[in-house]
């Protein structure tokens, strides 16, 4: 089990390609619910039903057990999570970005935790490169699992390496979990490791990291 270090910025051409798929910025919307101490924004993996997905729920449950009496709200990113990766990721990035900016504007004392699994991790990558710089101060931690990587089998065979990475303002507060042999984030050949983030204890490891930054 390894936690991969975050790499640097994408090349300018790749950034431009992904930027064209997402809104430049979304105006914050009103937040009706009371402000929580912690808001977890999690994007599920490809073809998972709406919600935070299995990995997301495991991460949220583990985080809640580590934050004492602090209140934790959860926002499942509202996006298709389909195999039409570029349009799906763009939709997720727009939705997640709008929510995080709304929290930053309307609940300035709330600490945001960003998370994503598989395609959802790519959603997180995109928003960390495109949200206004000041929003980063409201994000305590980022946790991604099975994050599509330019060095992984998926990127080399299906995405031609043109994938986003975590933005520099968020790199130091990010834990990037990659199961050995997972072809989405490393040069594996079997999809089995991609489904083992809960059993491996990596969701607990990431929750411990996030809780330590709140």
Extended beta strands in 69-166, E state: 72-76, 111-117, 139-145
Q: With contact defined as beta carbons under 8 Å apart, do 147 and 185 qualify?
A: yes
Q: Catalytic pick from 39, 95, 125, 182?
A: 182
Positive or negative, the CA dihedral 98, 70, 174, 188 is negative
69: number of Cβ within 10 Å: 5
**151 labelled catalytic:** no
Q: Catalytic pick from 62, 95, 138, 194?
A: 194
In the structure encoding, which two tokens stand for residue 16, read together? 């431009």
**Would strands 2-4 and 174-178 be described as parallel, antiparallel, or unpaired?**
antiparallel
**118 labelled catalytic:** yes
Indicate the helix (H) or strand (E) that contains 78.
none
Tallying the residues shown for the chain, one arrives at 214
**Nearest alpha-carbon partner for 17 in 152, 115, 161:** 161
Distance CA 117, CA 5 (A): 17
**97 labelled catalytic:** no
Distance CA 115, CA 51 (A): 13
Q: Catalytic pick from 62, 97, 102, 118?
A: 118
In the structure encoding, which two tokens stand for residue 172, read together? 């130091």
Catalytic residue list: 118, 182, 194
């Amino acid at each position: 089990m390894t936690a991969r270090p975050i790499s640097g910025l994408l090349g300018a051409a790749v950034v431009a390609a992904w930027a064209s798929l997402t809104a430049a910025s979304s105006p914050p919307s009103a937040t009706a619910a009371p402000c929580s101490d912690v808001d977890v924004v999690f994007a599920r993996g490809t073809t998972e039903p709406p919600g935070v997905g299995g990995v997301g729920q495991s991460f949220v449950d583990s985080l809640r057990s580590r934050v004492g009496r602090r209140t934790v709200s959860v926002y499942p990113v509202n996006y298709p999570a389909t195999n039409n990766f570029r349009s799906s990721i763009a939709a997720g990035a727009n939705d997640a970005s709008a929510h995080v900016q709304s929290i930053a504007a309307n609940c300035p004392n709330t600490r945001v935790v960003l998370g994503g699994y598989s395609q959802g991790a790519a959603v997180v990558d995109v928003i960390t490169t495109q949200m206004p710089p000041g929003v980063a101060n409201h994000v305590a931690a980022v946790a991604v699992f099975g994050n599509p990587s330019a060095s992984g089998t998926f990127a080399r065979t299906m995405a031609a390496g043109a994938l986003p990475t975590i933005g520099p303002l968020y790199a130091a507060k990010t834990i990037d979990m990659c199961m050995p042999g997972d072809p989405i984030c490393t040069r594996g050949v079997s999809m089995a490791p991609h489904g083992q983030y809960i059993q491996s204890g990596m969701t607990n490891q990431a929750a411990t990291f996030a809780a330590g930054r709140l």
